[in-house]
Amino acid sequence: MSQQQQFPFSQEFKKRIIALCLKNPEFFLQAKRWIEPEFFGEEMMVNLVRWIFDYHSKYKSIPTDVALIEVVKQEDPNKNQEYEILIKELFGLVISDVPFIKQKIKDWIQRNKYVRSLMTSQDLYNAGKQEEAYQKTLNDVREINTLTFDPPKRSFFFEEFKDREETRRVEALGDSNKFTTGIGKLDEITGGGLGVGELGIVFGDKGSGKSIALVHFGASCVRAYAGKVLHIILEGSLTQTRNRYDSRLAAYNYNQIKRGDMPNEVFHRLENEYEKLKGNLVIREMLDEFEYTPEHVETEILDLEAHGFHPNLLIVDYGDLLTPRTKSLKSEIYLAQREIFNDLRILGNKYRAGVWSASQSTRPKGKEEDPTFVMTSSNMSDSYHKPRLADLVISLNRTTAERKAGMMRLWVDKYRDDECKLLVPLRNDFSKMQFSFTDPI
């Protein structure tokens, strides 16, 4: 059985591996350590990879397209034109899926090495060399398990001085594993804010300010610690969310900003602050497809990491609008919501980030104007699993009278494994996307 029959890795995938080797020196050095030319199966690609490796061993550099064509003329002049077409194709490929290739290539190499090890060990065993076959298998398994394409840990000491000092100053401000909410009392309850790997859910009825709260949390994190924030929006628009962040960070009226009516003094103040905060906030609209899953969110994280952006705080506005990755759960709303929010929590742990999301709830009939009523986890009617999965659960509560007075009651329903049951009175100014703690009720 040929390698092409054994493994579902296409020729196009293999071409992308070679193209990436030719364009990325760091990837090439890692690939050369693990890849054997024979893994590529097809004769022309096997030969080409061998000649590329030989060229690097001889000249300590990756061949250019011109150099590689010259090598081919010497090695196989009869197929010179066929190789030249392949070489031009490889150098012309635009590699936009580097994270995907790096994920898949590990499996591709491990499968090839496993088959080679199995065949060699089997030959040894059949030749009566059982102990040698056993040791061969053991050593090969160990080698396969050490395979990695993670970049080496190295430090360009003098070049990194500025970044090092900035990191030290940020950490000196507080616990670098906490991301402030911008609400003093809530930070006090949580010991500094939402933690790395923790999932926070803010819920409330329609129009209660959930999306505004998420913008408030994102802006507070960026401003306080220069932490990197990835804000995913599944409703509304990119323009609306950008205007909200400008309003929150400028402490200036949203409608005036939306109309382009920002005073010069506010503009220049923001311009100076944004210069310091560059590279710390990415807003990603996910509205162009009908269904997005947590896997789409992870793909965005990987794509950003490939460009040097690692989010410390992930905001998903909001989780209820995601689709479960398990298609059979789409009609099972309780199980679907459990999987979605569990996947968001997994993303936080996997990528060392705090995760904020929101969820819709409905106030019981007759309680709409009750100033003593607060929504609890039991009001998340679509799934009782969500609050169980979350580390921090808060609800936003206000009557019509409170809304007119710019007041709100924030109910802390749960923090970590404890039912918190604490009422936090807030002043809220939605015209500036702000929340602030008031005297206790």
**How buried is residue 307: exposed, middle or buried, by Cβ count under 10 Å (0-12/13-18/19+)?**
exposed
Most confidently predicted of 98-107, 163-172, 362-371, 389-398: 389-398
Same domain, 207 and 246: yes
| Residue with tokens 């009523």, as numbered in its chain | 373
- pLDDT for the residue numbered 438: 62
Share of the chain above pLDDT 70, in %: 93
Domain presence at residue 283: yes
CATH code at position 71: 1.10.860.10
State CA 86 to chain mean position distance: 35
φ, ψ dihedrals at 127, nearest 5°: -85, 5
Same domain, 424 and 381: yes
Bigger pLDDT: 172 or 215?
215
**Is pLDDT at 216 greater than 60 in this prediction?**
yes
Bigger pLDDT: 120 or 152?
120
Same domain, 182 and 255: yes
Query: 145, 160, 189: which is the final residue of a domain?
Result: 145
Same domain, 141 and 279: no
- pLDDT for the residue numbered 6: 39
- pLDDT for the residue numbered 385: 77
Mean pLDDT taken over the chain: 87
Residue range 3-12, pLDDT digits in tens:
433 345 788 8
Same domain, 263 and 409: yes
Range of the domain at 122: 3-145
Q: What is the mean pLDDT of residues 375-391?
A: 80
Are 432 and 253 in contact by the 8 Å Cβ rule? The answer is yes
CATH code at position 354: 3.40.50.300
Bigger pLDDT: 377 or 68?
68
Same domain, 238 and 272: yes
**How buried is residue 148: exposed, middle or buried, by Cβ count under 10 Å (0-12/13-18/19+)?**
exposed
Tokens of 369: 């104007």
Contact residues for 317 (Cβ-Cβ < 8 A; gap 6+)? 210, 211, 214, 231, 232, 233, 234, 235, 236, 241, 357, 358
Residue range 311-339, pLDDT digits in tens:
999 999 989 899 998 888 877 888 888 89
Are 117 and 140 in contact by the 8 Å Cβ rule? The answer is yes
Same domain, 195 and 90: no
Same domain, 255 and 371: yes
| Domain count of the fold of the chain | 2
Domain presence at residue 360: yes
Are 255 and 226 in contact by the 8 Å Cβ rule? The answer is no
**Lowest pLDDT segment from 97-101, 291-295, 315-319, 321-325:** 97-101
- Quickly state the pLDDT bin for 168 (edges 50, 70, 90): confident
Whether the ω angle into residue 318 lies within 30 degrees of 0, i.e. cis, is yes
In degrees, to the nearest 5, what angle opens at C-alpha 281 toward C-alphas 430 and 149?
150
Tokens of 294: 């947590």
Same domain, 122 and 252: no
150 DSSP assignment: P
Same domain, 178 and 80: no
**Lowest pLDDT segment from 215-219, 267-271, 338-342, 363-367:** 363-367
- pLDDT for the residue numbered 176: 58
d(CA 387, CA 287): 26
**In sequence order, which ranges of 78-97 are alpha helices (DSSP H)?**
80-92
What's the pTM?
Answer: 0.61
Are 396 and 209 in contact by the 8 Å Cβ rule? The answer is yes
d(CA 29, CA 7): 24
State CA 436 to chain mean position distance: 30
**In sequence order, which ranges of 252-318 are alpha helices (DSSP H)?**
254-258, 264-277, 294-306
| Residue with tokens 């010069």, as numbered in its chain | 264
Domain presence at residue 380: yes
Domain presence at residue 292: yes
Q: Which 3 state secondary structure label does DSSP give 427?
A: strand
Are 299 and 293 in contact by the 8 Å Cβ rule? The answer is no
Same domain, 184 and 260: yes
- Quickly state the pLDDT bin for 420 (edges 50, 70, 90): confident
Domain presence at residue 158: no
What distance, in Å, lies between the first and last C-alpha atoms of the chain?
A: 75
Are 208 and 396 in contact by the 8 Å Cβ rule? The answer is yes
Domain presence at residue 150: no
Share of the chain above pLDDT 90, in %: 49
Domain presence at residue 304: yes
Same domain, 230 and 91: no
In degrees, to the nearest 5, what angle opens at C-alpha 332 toward C-alphas 326 and 336?
50
- pLDDT for the residue numbered 435: 84
Tokens of 97: 């899926």
Are 326 and 337 in contact by the 8 Å Cβ rule? The answer is no
φ, ψ dihedrals at 413, nearest 5°: -85, -35
Domain presence at residue 25: yes
